[in-house]
Amino acid sequence: MEKSRTVEEGKKLPDLKEEARMESEMVITGAIVDSWVESERVTSNGPRLVLQVAPRGRPKDLVIVEAEPSLVPDRFWLEDLSENLCHGSPVQAVGRASYNGFVSATQLQLVR
């Protein structure tokens, strides 16, 4: 089976399996190892929350989750996350894998 399909001579479409994998949502459940907030000066799309998560059952396979600060339930959580006061807290992130290997979250569930 070919990795890509030819539509017209010289034009190729991406492998459908790879495209579906990149577009599908994933759920990361684990514990926060590190967290920080990147300011608007660092990112071009406004401030970003970054979580380093140790997935349940695979704690050595750390996952970087990026999220909009608006996904955090309240400003106290956001302050605690930016001050590294949430290490070890359970988290569940739903999102899509991005090309840089990070997970771009569309939902966050945080528990104290």
* Residue 21: alpha-carbon gap to chain centroid: 15
Q: What was the pLDDT predicted at 32? A: 95
* Local structure of 25: helix, strand or coil: strand
Q: Report which residue type is found at 26.
A: M
- pTM of the full structure: 0.72
Low-confidence ranges of the chain (pLDDT < 70): 1-23, 41-44
Q: What was the pLDDT predicted at 106? A: 94
Looking at domain 24-110, does it have CATH number 2.40.50.140?
Answer: yes
40, HSE (Cβ side, Cα atoms, 13 Å): 1
pLDDT tens digits along 41-55:
655 677 899 999 999
Q: Residue 112's CB: how many other CB atoms inside 10 A?
A: 8
Helix%, strand%, coil% for the chain, nearest 5: 15, 45, 40
Q: What was the pLDDT predicted at 41? A: 62
Q: What was the pLDDT predicted at 103? A: 94
Q: What was the pLDDT predicted at 3? A: 40
b or e along 68-87 (b: 16 or more beta carbons within 10 Å of the residue's beta carbon)? ebebbeeeebbebbbeeebe
